[in-house]
Structure 1
Amino acid sequence: MNTQHPLPAHVVRYVAPPTIARFMASRALYRGIMGPVGSGKSSACSVELMAKALAQAPDHTGQRRTRFAVVRNTYRELKDTTLKTWLSWFPEEDFGPFGSTDMTHRLDLALADGTRLLAEVLFRALDKPQDVKKLLSLELTGAWVNEARELPLSLVEALGDRVERFPSAREGGCTWAGVILDTNPPDTDHWWHRLAEEDRPNNWSFFLQPGGLIEHDGAFHHNPQAENLDNLPEDFYLRRMAGKNARHIRVYYCGRYGFVQDGMPVYPEFDEPRHVAAQILDPVQGLPLYVGLDFGLTPAAALAQRMPDGRWRYLDELVTQNMGMVRFAALLNDLLRSRYPGLTPVIWGDPAGMARAQTDERTPYDILRANGLHARPTHTNDPLLRREAMAAALARSIDELPGLSLSPRCTTLIRGMAGAWRYRRLAVAGFERYDETPEKNRFSHICEAAQYLLVGAGEGQRLLTPEGPAKNRQAKALTGR
């Protein structure tokens, strides 16, 4: 060090909590950390990139050269959250100006050992297809995927093919290379859950931080094992849980896998603890097995029975993607034979299935009949009548039991009813507005199949026919949950 021209000091003090320390010590090519909001995940990833830049071996000129990509799903989130976190740790006045034109922070720092840090940190959003194309043409040392649950696995894997390319082998190569990821908890059907909890592939490591809150007997309490509390206001999690539903608290404050509703649910009448059975519902011999169908390239089937007292029990579902009717009919037959032998299926479907495709003169109903499944179209596909038929069954109570129950086997239907099937929020300033029709997504097909089942079985007509005082006892309608 030249004592006549002392180097400026850039002091960054960071003490890693236990889970983050294990995350930083991992040598896996892909490393992911999941935790509740406020647990310090983004700060940890920012510090980790800088640590790897400093650890890069100097080349023959004494320069430690690295290039990192920091990726987020949208430009707005990248600028408002990810970039702000980075610059809070490595401010421009100490580490050099940030280039807002090309969204790159170029660091050129003289180090105390006489070497020089030359690092490029490229902040990239994926709003448009051309953004993805540009990202996947980069030559990188490493990458950080911020809020990884918002990105497809294919992109994360492709990023892994772009790292360990800068500096090149002839320039000394990379001392470290890899992809680090952080996220709030996704749902259990997300790729993160599959890789972290089920597949556990080689060269992937996942780390789970303790939640800020823990749940006991339906109540939420402070978790003494929570991390990063020294950097949070007092009672950070307890004060924020007020007014939040339990699903939101479990995901964002307890750090547990789960689904958080966005938009307005099609069925606000649905109450998961009430309407989802505690254990798998078995079929009752001697009762018809109703089947509701929705068609298209994502055909779905819902299976249910109506009990003698009028209660509906949804027993099972068949959910597919990108599948033709011939294959779907075969799968439905297999399901009926294997799980519901001896029961007579009564099958109802979307009236739109009566239309013939341009490439096939047969309708979906023709294909079903050819496979021994005698399905009929409902008399209407009026979306309002279908919704109200389901809502009435949900609101009904019979001898203090719910008028509609779902077996735990109906995983996609439960998710859809819980809010994944929704009216999309419109971008209107000043007040909340929603689209007039429910969003078409992977939950809508099974939910509509469940509706066709009820309409075909007469629940729609029941709504339109006043009940006389002399009729047999019917379900008592409730206005609330």
Structure 2
Amino acid sequence: MSDLVLTEFFDYEPLPEDMVYKPSDTVNNFMQDFTFVSLIIGAIGSGKTLGSIMKWYYLIHLQEPDNNGWKRTRTVVIRNTTVELKDTTMKSFSEWFGDDLKINWSNLTALYEDEEDKVHAEILFRALDKPQDMKKLLSLEITYAYLNELRELPAAALYNVTSRLGRYPSPTMGVKATHACAWADSNAFDQEHWVYKLFFDNLPSNHKLFLQPPAMLDDGSVNPDAENLENLPDEYYGDYMLGKPQDWIDVMAKVKFIPLQTGKPVYPEYNDKLHCVDEKQVRPPDVNIALICGGENGRTSAVVFGQVDAMGRLVIFDEIVSEDVGAMEFGKYVKQMMQADYGAYRHMIWLDIAAGSRGQVTDHTQLKVWNNLGLNCKLVKTNKPDIVVEALKAKFNTLIAGSPAIMISSKCKTLRKGLNGGYQYRRVNVSGDKYAEKPDKGKYSHVCNALEYLVNGMGAGRELMSSSKFKALANSGKQFSGGRAFKK
């Protein structure tokens, strides 16, 4: 049994005398909350996982006894993969409760019994490696559920498991679950994540969020209000952070809800502080100059709107992003938006070459559908990544009269997230830093593709291909990666 300290905050103190545990204020409130679903979010090292484990220990002692005088409970503990389940979650349970918790590592089960207090607590450890694992959650008869690292789990995991709460103990045993509930812990995540939308945008009345203070402040110093500092090594948020990417520090230590890069950004040349301009400072488009737009229709459809200003800079001032809509439906929405906001402007929308191909279900191409709607569309000459990507990189690396050659309005939130690293090359599952040759198709790829088509339609692709450097590299068979060659 671990030598840890018992907290004085509990109204009921079930911990043995040799177990000393004193939670921080946020963790303590989280542990004693019996809302149907509760979530604690904090920095790495903030003590949230241990708090979740101790919440289980607290709850199993609060269960009302059955006909035989035993407090019987059954808890499912969920992690995204079996490896992480065994290496982290189960290991944490084992380290804290030792031989008092009988763990079957093969069957992924555990049993805790306390003869003196008449506690009989079963644990079912479950990983969601395969699609069928999700369905198995629907057959459980449980009292509680603990979802470890909720951001790594699909929304269906929470939906499925909460439908099984309070099924054990059964009324035939003379008692029901005293506090049937589910709880979870997590590091921060992107604002587009399903967890953010559930707990920040549309919090149900029977859900509760506990947010720990960030461990680090924006100036890089340790937050004096950070929790669990006394149990961490010295300089944990100092020397331990050296060499780590800024986005990792922002998410894991500063608890910022931004995308965390898991691959290699397609556009590391993009600097949000340099290329982004406040939408209030963006001049309205000149009605005498045609709008240049780029469009992409896929699982996530997108159109970006731009215009070249008097200095020759490309200003991207608006975006439309929609999910799971067809070419016709999205085209109608784009037309309505353009009529409402940009009805007096001439425009050109540049589309991917694939927009000129017939679909499997219809003989109509996206190009034909959109042109029939009155949207003035043309196809770009190429969609080869080594051309469209490098052409946009060249824009990011070019200055005109001391200002970036391309500027993005702060209004274009999805586009900026993509350029900030959401649009990336997927890491390949081999040793070392190996990445796929083509950018990954994800929720940020389509809006970034739309910008690529816009820039390509302007002629940047032709400018790139006509450069002597590109021709030399193309003839050599090497991949082009020299955006700065075009800096003016």
Q: Compute the TM-score of the two structures, normalised by the length of structure 1.
A: 0.91
Q: d(CA) in 1 for partners of 2:332 and 2:138?
A: 41
* CA pair 221-144 structure 1, distance change in 2 beyond 3 A: same
Give me the identity figure in percent. Answer: 34
After superposition, what is the alpha-carbon deviation per residue over 1:320-366, rounded to whole angstroms, capped at 9, x for unaligned? 22211111111111221222232211111011111112322211111
Number of the residue aligned with 1:17: 24
- CA shift digits 1:22-76 (9 cap, x unpaired): 1122231000000000000100000110111111111121211100011111111
Pick from 388, 391, 402 the counterpart of residue 389 of structure 1: 391
Instruction: Render the CA deviation track for 1:257-299: whole Å, top value 9, x for unaligned.
Output: 1211111111111112111213353432122211111123433
Matches within 5 A, 1:173-188: 173-188=176-191
1:9 positional shift: 6.1
CA deviation profile, 1:157-216 (whole Å, cap 9, x unmatched): 22111111100123211111101010001111223222333322201110100111111x
Q: How much has 1:478 moved relative to structure 2? A: 7.2
- Residue from 188, 192, 195 that aligns with 2:195: 192
SS across alignment from 2:221: strand
Q: Deviations over 1:366-425 (max 9, x none)?
A: 111111112111112222110011000011111221111111221121111111111111
Could you tell me which residue of structure 1 aligns to residue 451 of structure 2?
Answer: 450
Conserved 8 A contact 1:351-1:380: yes
Q: Is the 8 Å Cα contact of residues 145 and 180 (structure 1) preserved in structure 2?
A: yes
Partner of 1:473: none
Quote the Cα distance in structure 1 between the aligned partners of 2:300 and 2:16: 60
1:164 maps to 2:166:
yes
The secondary structure found in structure 2 opposite 1:12 is: coil
- Give the secondary-structure state (helix, strand or coil) at the position aligned to 1:214: coil
Q: Name the counterpart of 1:108.
A: 113
C-alpha displacement of 1:426: 1.1
Contact 2:315 2:406 in 1 (8 A): yes
**Equivalent position of 2:261 in the other structure:** 261
Return the match for 1:419 from 407, 418, 421.
Answer: 421
Q: Is the 1:283–1:305 Cα contact (8 Å) retained in structure 2?
A: no
Q: Is the contact made by 1:46 and 1:86 (CA closer than 8 Å) also made in structure 2?
A: yes
Cα distance between partner residues in 1 of 2:486 and 2:250:
28
**Aligned to 1:105, what secondary structure does the other structure show?**
strand
Aligned to 2:60: 53
Q: In structure 1, how many angstroms separate the alpha carbons of the residues matched to 2:28 and 2:17?
A: 22
Unaligned runs of 5+ in 1: 1-7, 468-475
Aligned match of 1:471: none
1:179 partner amino acid:
A
User: Which residue does the alignment assign to 2:5?
Assistant: none
Q: What is the identity, as a one-letter code, of the residue corresponding to 1:233?
A: P
Specify the alignment match of 2:7 in structure 1.
none
| Separation of aligned partners in 2, 1:359 and 1:212 | 53
CA distance in structure 1 between the partners assigned to 2:73 and 2:400 by the alignment:
67
Partner in structure 1 of residue 475 of structure 2: none
In structure 2, distance between residues paired with 1:36 and 1:117: 33
Deviation of 1:464 (Å) = 2.9
Query: Which secondary structure state, in structure 2, belongs to the residue aligned with residue 284 of structure 1?
Result: coil
Q: After superposing the two structures, state which structure 1 stretch, 32-41 or 350-359, moved more.
A: 350-359
Amino acid at match of 2:465: L
1:397/1:477 contact within 8 Å kept:
no
Determine the structure 1 residue equivalent to 2:227: 227
Q: CA separation in 2, counterparts of 1:397 and 1:169?
A: 73
Counterpart selection for 2:211 from 199, 208, 211: 208
What per-residue deviation string (whole Å, max 9, x for no partner) do you get for residues 454-476 of structure 1?
11111111223459xxxxxxxx9
- Separation in 1 of the partners of 2:112 and 2:361? 59
2:143–2:167 contact (8 Å) kept in structure 1: yes
Q: What secondary structure, in the 3-state scheme, does the structure 1 residue paired with 2:238 have?
A: helix
Deviation of 1:12 after TM superposition, in Å, equals 2.5
Q: SS state of the match for residue 97, structure 1?
A: strand
Mapping 1:276-291, distance limit 5 Å: 276-280=276-280, 281-285=282-286, 286-291=288-293
Q: What one-letter code is carried by the residue in structure 2 that aligns with 1:225?
A: D
CA distance in 1, matches of 2:216, 2:54: 26
Greater displacement, 154-163 / 26-35: 154-163
CA contact (8 A) 1:141 1:177 kept: yes
The TM-score, its normalising length taken from structure 2, stands at 0.89
Partner letter of residue 99 of structure 1? N
Conserved in 1, the CA contact under 8 Å of 2:302 and 2:447? yes
Q: Please, what is the CA RMSD of the aligned residues? A: 1.9
The residue aligned with 1:309 is 311
Q: Which amino acid aligns with 2:453?
A: Y
Q: Which residue of 2 is the match for residue 292 of structure 1?
A: 294
